[in-house]
Structures are given as structure tokens and as C-alpha cells.
Amino acid sequence: MRGPHNIWRLIRTGATLERTGAMQVVLDQMEAPKTVRVVARTLVWPFRWLGIKGDPNMPPLTRALTALGPAYIKFGQVLSTRPDVVGSDLATQLRVLQDKLPPFDLATAKQAVEDELEHPLDEMFSEFSEPVAAASIAQVHKARLAETGEQVAVKVLRPGIEKAFRKDIDAFYFAADTIELLSPASRRLRPRDVIEHFDGVVTGELDLRLESASASEFSANTAQDEGFQVPAIKWEYSARRVMTLDWAEGDPLGDNDALDAAGHNRHALGSRILSLFLNHALRDGYFHGDMHQGNLKVAANGDIIAYDFGIMGHIDEYTRRVYAEILFGFIQRDYQRVAEVHFEAGYVPANQDVDEFARALRAVGEPIFGMDATRISMGRLLSYLFEVTERFGMETRTELILLQRTMVVVEGVSRSLDPEVNIWDVAKPVVEGYIKDSIGPRALGRDLMKTARVMARFGPRLPALVEGALIRQATPQEEPPKNPWKLAVICGGLGLVSGAALVAAYVSLT
């Protein structure tokens, strides 16, 4: 329930940060002024005793987020990929949130597998190990199929995770509603829509059948991507709370020492992961939405292996073109075109001045392009762009939230492998290739072909549609249609457009 009782949850969040010492860490990292520190500590300190104690063996912030539950842990996972934001020491501390959380016991996991798959575990698996990785929502066991002897990974949801996550999300909803009520200016940012988006994404992560389907689709899309692997799903050993897939053998992408010892080129890996993400987002419109180090390995042959497909992002073709044009405009430093794209897409209200918006975008881009490679940041660009679009009345684009967040995460992963990776140098050929393929003559031909196919499907229904429209135009006294020729012209025009589309598409594609 999303009522006022959630105030207790939010108070306890602040109290837990204070009790674990994480409040001081957060204030230090924010470089908060003295007055803010005094106010924050004064408001929270009386409730300190209500905070969750957590594991005293963990660093303060990791301890607090782990104690608060799965939604907070997800937040910590994102921060762990941003050493340029939170500092390398804090990023390293938070990295344990990715796959090194305390596991639940083996007996519980085995029972969950038997209950879900409705067979005795020994009949399905000849080996079933202790947990090899434990994250916020599930843990993974290494096993061997009794029938074939193949090594597999078996993912099992944590007991009661659905209820625990629901409590966190309900508190977030209450916080969003309270913010919108107390601060009307915040409604432009649509905080409730943001929470609804986050809710939908992670709720999908709690049904492993959906994750299995996502992995299968992602594997099909990326089958031809050089240097990239997706483990195959074992459908007969997967269900709502259990998922089985091929075992991925490799070094963790977050372990630079292991990567160096294995002789991998970290600069090439950092560039490749960024390039792969952009290709998946722009080319396929379907991308891994949780690409932190805990979900990536490097095989002995240097291939990047992705797993954990609970959070996947999808963007339609039109939005991909808009996003690509915005990125391309920044890469080319064509701020006028970036501004025009925002207006054409309806992202910025039409009553704003496009030239003034272009000048504001130049103030965003130029300082970043003046930086050396180690300081160029997509995250910083998005942050500055947010400030500018806020001033020009742009609403939060919920369909781009996951894309933007993942872009920041992937950049962080890339930078953790090699700080010298130049984000723009990697992005430029990918974006240019997509622009050439999606906005050129051949793309026009494909668009016209799609239009013709849609209109062809309505061909058999056109006579009935015309007759129905003519009848609706008639008055209750059975007066003749007001303008029957208008409908006839429209229908004829539709036919001509369909024919022209087919011809244009054929010429373009040949």
C-alpha cells in the first residue's frame, strides 16, 4: 500500500544512513556545505536508534544499502560503476553489491528448484554446488545436467524477494507523490512516472521466465557480433523462479589484475563494451539494461560474455533515430541541428526559441570537447543537458530513462578498465554508421515499403470503410453526404501513395 505509513520507511532510511555512518560518507561525497550538514544531521539524529544496524564488517555505505533492501542495493550497483563520481575507493566498496552479497542456504535453493521444476533435483542435476554468486534478487549455483553432463548455471530467486521489493517500491511511490504535492515545479520531471518505469523494469526481473525470453532474443540479435557471447538458455530447466543457462567461464570484468594476468588488452575491452552497447541500442533497439561489472566476464579468447538479463531496454525505431541524431550532432559540434532535433521530436515546447536553445547546447558541449580523453564524460554531458532542457521546459522522457542510465553505467565500466578510453572516438563510427543506414535513401525506401505493407493490409477493408464514413456523414434525416468527393479523393490518394511507395522502395533497394 502506498499510504502515509511509508513515512516510517523513509524515516528509517535516513536513520539507517546515520546509524551505519553512511550519512557522513554521502555528505562528504556531495561536498555539502556546513549548513546543509548541520540541518541533515539535526533532522536525522533523533531517529538514529530506528536505523537498521546492518553488517558491521561492511563499509558504511555498503552496509546501509544492504540493510535497506533490494531497491537500495540496485542504486548502489549503479554507483559502483562511477569511480569518477564517487571516487575509486567508494566504487570498489560498492562493487560487492553486484554479486558478492550474503547467500541464502543451499537446502532452501534446492527445495526452490524442485518446487518450480516439479522433479527431484537429483534426477535433473548430477552436481549442484554451493552459491557461486549472490546478488540483490537472486543467487547462482554451478551445476551439471544429469542427462548430458553439461555444466550449467542455475539462477534461483531469493525467498520472499517479491514482498521485500514491493515494500521498497511503495515507499518510493509515496516519496514521489509527496514531492509532486509539495513542489509543483517538480511535476515537469514526472517523478511518479520515473518510479513507475523503475517498478516495471524490476518487476519483470522477478519473473525468470521473462528473463529467459529476453536472453533468447538478445542472443539472436547479437549472434553475429564479433567478440561477444550470450549463454544459451536451457528452457526445460527454467521456470518463474528458476532459470538455467550455459555456464560462462571467464575472468570477471571488474578484476583488472586477473585481466592483466590473463593477457587481455583492457583498453580494447573498454572500447569494445561501449561500442557493443551503442550498436545494441541503435541497431537493434534492444539492449542489456544492467551492464555493470558483475554481469560481465571475459572469456579466455577475449570475448565479452554477458549474463543476467532481468533488465533489458527497448526503444522504438523513431526514438533511436532521434537519439542518434542528438549524439551525432554533439559529436559533430552541430548544436543548431541538435536543437532542431529536440524541437522536431517534440522534446522541447514549440513556443521556445530554437536559436537560443542551440546557444545553450553549445555551452553544454564546448567545455566537454575541450577536455582531455580522461575527463570526457557522457554522464557529465547528460547532466549538463538535463539542466539546459529543464530551463527550456522539456519534460522527462521516461522511454529514455533506462537508455541514459545504462549509457552512464557502461561508460563507468569502460573507464574502470582504462581511464584513457575516449568516449567520443568510440561512439563516432557507431553513430555515423547508424545515421548512414537509417536516414539515407535506402532507409527511405524501407520506410515506404513498411507504409505500403500496412496500407495493403487495409486494402480489402477500404470499400467498407468508405461506405461507413459516407453513412456517418449523413444527417439523421437521411440527407446526402456533405462532401462525398472529399472521401473519394482521400481514398484515391491513399492508393496512389501505396503504389508510389512500392515503386520507390523497389528502386531504392535495387
Q: Do 290 and 411 fall into the same domain?
A: yes
HSE value, Cβ hemisphere, 13 Å, CA-based, for 352: 23
Burial 387-411 (b: 16+ CB within 10 A, else e): ebbeebebbbbeebbbbbbbbbbbb
Q: Is residue 155 domain-resident? A: no
pLDDT of amino acid 506 = 46
- The Cα-based distances of 384 to 258, 318, 327, 404 in angstroms read 36, 24, 14, 13
Indicate the residue among 98, 125, 159 that finishes a domain.
98
Residue 139's DSSP bridge partners are 134, 156
Contact 140, 101 (CB under 8 A): no
Query: Phi and psi for 112 in degrees, rounded to 5?
Result: -65, -40
| 324 and 393 housed in the same domain | yes
Q: How crowded is residue 474: how many other Cβ atoms within 10 Å of its Cβ?
A: 12
Cβ atoms of 243 and 155 within 8 Å: the answer is yes
Amino acid identity at 201: V
- Residue 374, pLDDT score: 64
Query: What pLDDT does 66 receive?
Result: 84
* CA–CA separation, 364 and 329 (whole Å): 12
- Output the DSSP codes for 55-73: -TTS-HHHHHHHHH-HHHH
Rg for the chain (alpha carbons), in Å?
27
Domain contains 72: yes
For residues 344 and 478, state if they share a domain.
no
Flag whether 482 is in a domain: yes
Q: What is the pLDDT of residue 209?
A: 93
Residue 461: burial class (beta carbons within 10 Å; 0-12, 13-18, 19+):
exposed
Whether residues 469 and 397 share a domain: the answer is no
Same domain, 450 and 425: no
Query: Do 304 and 448 reside in the same domain of the chain?
Result: no
Q: Based on the fold, state whether residues 407 and 449 are members of the same structural domain.
A: no
Q: Confirm if 417 and 269 have CB atoms less than 8 A apart.
A: yes
* Active-site residue, from 168, 225, 290, 308: 290
Q: Which of these, 389, 360, 26, lies nearest to 189 by C-alpha position? A: 389
Q: Which pLDDT score is estimated for 509?
A: 46
The pLDDT assigned to 500 comes to 47
What pLDDT score does 1 carry? 52
For residue 475, what is its C-alpha cell? 444527417
Range of the domain at 55: 6-98
pLDDT of residue 322: 85
Are residues 464 and 429 part of one domain?
A: no
* Residue 505 covered by a domain: yes
The number of folded domains in the chain is: 3
State the DSSP H helix or E strand holding residue 197, giving kind and residue range, or none if neither.
helix 191-205
- End residue of a domain, out of 98, 132, 162: 98
Angle in degrees, CA 466, 471, 476, rounded to 5: 165
Tens digits of per-residue pLDDT, 447-465?
Answer: 667 676 666 666 677 677 7
290 annotated active-site: yes
Residue 478 within a domain: yes
Among 396, 421, 439, the domain-final residue is: 439
Cell of 90: 567508494
Residue ranges of the alpha helices (H) in 80-222?
A: 83-86, 88-94, 96-99, 106-117, 121-124, 161-182, 191-205, 208-221
Q: What is the largest CA-CA distance in the chain?
A: 88
- pLDDT tens over the chain, length 510 residues: 555 666 777 788 888 888 888 887 777 765 666 776 776 677 777 877 788 888 888 888 888 888 887 778 877 776 665 555 566 677 777 767 766 678 899 999 999 999 999 999 999 999 999 999 888 788 999 999 999 999 999 999 999 888 888 888 888 788 777 767 766 655 655 667 767 766 777 777 788 999 999 999 999 999 999 999 999 999 999 999 999 999 989 998 888 999 999 999 999 999 999 999 999 999 999 999 888 888 899 999 999 999 889 888 888 888 888 888 888 888 888 999 989 988 888 888 888 899 999 998 898 888 777 666 666 666 667 666 767 777 787 766 666 667 777 887 888 889 889 988 888 788 888 888 888 787 666 666 666 676 766 666 666 776 777 777 777 766 555 555 555 555 555 555 545 444 444 444 444 445
Q: Answer whether 285's CB lies under 8 Å from 316's CB.
A: yes
Together in a domain, 318 and 367? yes
Cell digits of residue 315 = 526503444
In a domain, 200, yes or no: no
pLDDT at position 185: 57
Looking at residue 122, what is its pLDDT?
Answer: 94
Sign of CA dihedral 237, 238, 243, 246: positive
Flag whether 500 is in a domain.
yes
